[in-house]
Amino acid sequence: MVEHAKRTLYLKMLEAGPDGATAEALYEAMEEEGFSRDIAKAAIGKLVKKKHLAEKPGKVTVPLKKIPGTEIITVEVERVLPGAAMVSVNGQTAKLTPENYGGPRKLLKKNTAFKAQGNLYQLNGELHVAIRHIVQVL
């Protein structure tokens, strides 16, 4: 039950953006999803422990990680193919493979947009993108 709550809570935090949300607002949102307050607290605790979330006085946020060689990019999923997805990254079309994606699978649906830390690179004449950390769902 806590694992499902963790996934739901993390997606809600990505939707909240870089400003985050208050713990009370998260408890209410999780109760609307059918999770008790205790399960929501446990999910927040586990996500903070794994450093997927950061707790500040009165707020919970998705932290920006310091990942060398990455920048904040805007990604929009154009097509999902077997074993890859074609995405638009800051206006350029690139290929996203499973080994280069470090985020929730729920975001890999057509017309989904999000901000992430990642980088573009060329491989065999194709433009690829490596996404290391999701910052916000748009």
pLDDT, position 63 = 79
pTM (predicted TM-score): 0.77
Q: Rounded to whole angstroms, how far apart are CA atoms 64 and 81?
A: 29
Give domain status of residue 66, yes or no: no
List the structure tokens of 99.
């080994």
Question: Which residues pair with residue 84 across a beta bridge?
Answer: 81
Identify whether residues 57 and 97 lie together within a single domain.
no
Our count of domains for the chain comes to 2
Asked if residue 121 belongs to a domain, the reply is: yes
Q: Say which CATH number the domain at 108 has.
A: 2.40.50.140
Query: Could you give the count of Cα atoms lying within 13 Å of 75 in the half-sphere of its Cβ?
Result: 34
Q: Among 15, 42, 61, which residue terminates a domain? A: 61
Give the pairing of strands 92-96 and 113-123. Answer: unpaired
Q: How far apart are CA 13 and CA 20, in angstroms?
A: 6
CA separation for the pair 104, 23 (Å, rounded): 22
Helix locations, the chain, DSSP H: 2-16, 23-32, 37-49
Give residue 131's domain range: 71-137
Which of the listed residues 43, 61, 79 is the one where a domain comes to its end? 61
- Pair 132, 92 in one domain: yes
> Is the per-residue pLDDT at 65 higher than 80?
no
Domain for residue 20, yes or no? yes
Q: What is the mean pLDDT of the chain?
A: 86
Residues 76 and 133 in one domain: yes
Q: Is the pLDDT of residue 88 over 80?
A: yes
Whether residues 79 and 124 share a domain: the answer is: yes
Question: Is 42 in the same domain as 85?
Answer: no
Region 75-99 average pLDDT = 92
Q: Is residue 110 part of a domain?
A: yes
Mind listing the pLDDT tens digit for each residue in 14-39? 888 777 888 888 888 888 888 888 88
Q: Which of 71, 72, 101 is nearest to 84 (CA)?
A: 101
